[in-house]
Amino acid sequence: MSSRYKDRIEKFAARLELSGFNAYICTNESNIFYFTGLPGPATLLIRQDGSATLYVSPMNYGLAEKEASQELEIVQLKMGVAPEALLAEILSQLGGMVGIDNLDIDTYRKISGLIGGIDLRPQSRLVWDMRMSKDSYEVEVIREACSISDRVMRAASDLLVPGIRESEVKAELTAEIYRRVGQEPAFTPIVAFGERSSFPHGPILRGTARDRVLKKGDVVIIDLGVKVEGYCSDITRTFYIGKEMDEKLQNAFESVINAKTLAQSIMRPGVSCSYVDDIARDSLSNKGMEPYFTHSLGHGLGIEIHEPPRIGPGSQDQFMENNVVTCEPGVYFIGEWGVRMEDTVLVTEESAIPLTSYPLDEYLVY
């Protein structure tokens, strides 16, 4: 039985051939994980014939022997080999056009004298075109991560009793994630009370502003994700601590939920990402809320919490089948409050299926 890693490498090798590349070098950790299963730094060479070699430091060699796909050649490097020296050595075995996922100018200048007849081309998109469209195993583990993050959101919202501190909510929801999946959150959770919710990424934690106690009448933003088998989920809910909110805040909740529902309903393969972002903005502008929507509508996710496609103004991306993306409109009145609602969504031919499913309308907590 050939592994999912071998399948991916073979598919990628076929793409290399179609694009005229003789070989491709991955240096990015999540590309390494995607093609080999090794969750750590390494360098991977994939040749057009589907063969591949993984170069690993002494520190990670034991891990690679245990965790990386055994259908690869695994080479242990010497201690302290500089990345540019390894790159030059790998390239010395190759010829023609060679792709690479990442290359900074410093490294390029160091090796450019050494690689004679090779046409080295940074082209991260070649891997992204595969990674953006999730296979059935990936959808399954992301679905599990999403389902767990729903339950963590429930546990977090249950803590929202006046008198609790932001830091206690963060500590408890993080502990809940460790209990449920044994490992850290997909990203540092955002828990922002009151005026601190008016910053999309939450408050700055400095000096006396490191923490805040919850009060009646506060808006609360909670943005969290978990990782299962190396794949992320991402969900945001906004809550209100009280029974009745003023008209402006009520308008914000309703407008954001409407914009989200509408934008999500038109995500389909072939649809332009910037168009869906436009639709969300148009929907918000009906209620005068558009100027306060100060970020992009969403992003892809998978092994990384931010992946292509980018769903925002000016994006050149289009949706593809089996994209997993967030849909997360939000409006922010600086110094007052912010409202954001976000789900992780699977894009299929027929519909965009929410993978996170905490009820959008249960935002009153009292």
Q: Whole-angstrom Cα distance, residue 98 to residue 122?
A: 9
Quick check: 193 and 212 in contact, CB under 8 A? yes
Interaction of residue 216 with a second copy, rule CB under 8 A: no
The pair of three-digit structure tokens given for residue 129, joined into one six-digit string: 């075109």
Interaction of residue 206 with a second copy, rule CB under 8 A: yes
Site for a second copy in 232-291 (CB under 8 A): none
Q: Whole-angstrom Cα distance, residue 338 to residue 164?
A: 20
Q: Pick between residue 4 and residue 321 the one whose CB is nearest to a second copy.
A: 4
From the list 46-54, 204-212, 255-263, 349-357, the region that binds a second copy by CB under 8 A is 204-212
Q: Pick between residue 167 and residue 250 the one whose CB is nearest to a second copy.
A: 167
What's the residue count for the chain?
A: 366
Nearest approach, Cβ of 257 to a second copy (angstroms)?
Answer: 20
Exposed / middle / buried, residue 80 (Cβ in 10 Å: 0-12, 13-18, 19+): exposed
Give the closest residue to 158 by CA, choosing from 178, 173, 179, 175. 173
Residue that has been written with the tokens 């020296």 in this structure: 85
Q: Pick between residue 105 and residue 246 the one whose CB is nearest to a second copy.
A: 105
Quick check: 337 and 253 in contact, CB under 8 A? no
The pair of three-digit structure tokens given for residue 214, joined into one six-digit string: 């919850």
Among 201, 215, 216, 306, binds a second copy (CB under 8 A): 201
Interaction of residue 14 with a second copy, rule CB under 8 A: no
Nearest approach, Cβ of 332 to a second copy (angstroms)?
Answer: 7
Instruction: Determine the 3-state secondary structure of 159 from DSSP.
Output: coil
Interaction of residue 105 with a second copy, rule CB under 8 A: yes
Among 117, 182, 270, 359, binds a second copy (CB under 8 A): 182
Phi, psi of 90 (to 5 degrees): -60, -45
Q: Pick between residue 296 and residue 356 the one whose CB is nearest to a second copy.
A: 296
Per CB under 8 A, residues contacting a second copy are 39-40, 57-63, 66-67, 79-82, 102-106, 108, 122, 124, 165-168, 170-172, 174-175, 178-179, 181-184, 188, 198-201, 204-207, 210-211, 229-230, 294-296, 312-315, 332, 334-335
